[in-house]
Structure 1
Amino acid sequence: MIAWKTYFQYQIDYQHWANERLFESLDKLSDDLRKQDEGLFYKSIHGTVNHLLVQNLIWSGRLNGESPELRLDSQLHDDWRELKLALKQSARQLQHWLQAQPPEFFEQELRYLQGGTLEHRQWVHDVLTHFCHQCAGIRGQIGAIATRLGAPAPEFDYLFYRREMQDSLANARQIANG
């Protein structure tokens, strides 16, 4: 049986990998297309990618014991490059922070405030599961809209990630063994 810590290290690394696949597709669209209202909850592709960043910052803060004062619709970056960089950095920061946590952390109860007053209690592993699933769902929505707008369909299935990682390890072993 795989430990929670190891499991979530893979899951958070996958989030970073999948975001990269999404960005490869979205970079084929103009800034105007990324910012036009497409009927998503956060209106545009840009707004919805921004929401991924906001969500990342909120959950990272809560896991750290902070209560971030961010609204889900906070617009953090109007510039596409800045938005992508901020999301990449926040994903890696969360990954490194989780790697530094002891295995017991993933089995603890997390207490956090929502809206500054309402307290919630959830298991850390449930919060991380929610976070990862929510990111995947949002990426799916963005990918569908981007494809409809003419961008290449991003392939960010988890099994593609695992195959790519396994191939990379096999190649590294082959190179090391000469």
Structure 2
Amino acid sequence: MIGNSSSACKLTTKAALTLMAVIIITPALIVGAISLTIAHAGAPLAGALASEEAGNNDLDWQLEALESNWGVTVPDSVVLQEYHESEVGPHGEHDAVYVLHAAEVEGTWLDPEFTSPSPHRVNLIGRIAESAGATDIVDDASALSCAVVKGNDVYRSLTACRMPGIDAGLLLLERIT
């Protein structure tokens, strides 16, 4: 009898619908849980970077990211003293300012020919510093002596600048959009 459904058939239909719901909903729940975990795990990290108590070892991962992003090797003599970064966008876009003590970098990519920055570059340096919350470090970009290390436009650039009056002081200004 086709019109009469057995209880076994009804259970099978109910089980099939439940299984379909689990298959459709579970991945969305997992992705949401992972995103929430990552968002909450990042908060203490951001606090550690902003803290003046954070030691240089806490910032070593940033030098590794610099090497990876730009295909450069940071000499062992370079010490990252401060790191400032804007909020990171959904596609990784950000502005960052690295404050380095860069002794013994002669002959490396950190020893380019430094010149006075163009008005366009001064403007870009100012915008990067403002976005990254480092205007106290880069208060007068026109007084810096700089060189474009990688990239040369407003979308992706890495600029190195000597810090006036600070022996072996070097700023790296990064823009990735």
TM-score between both structures, scaled by the size of structure 1: 0.24
Query: Whose helix fraction is larger, Structure 1's or Structure 2's?
Result: 1
Q: Which has the higher contact order (CA 8 A, sep 6+)?
A: 1
Larger Cα-atom Rg: 2
TM-score between both structures, scaled by the size of structure 2: 0.24
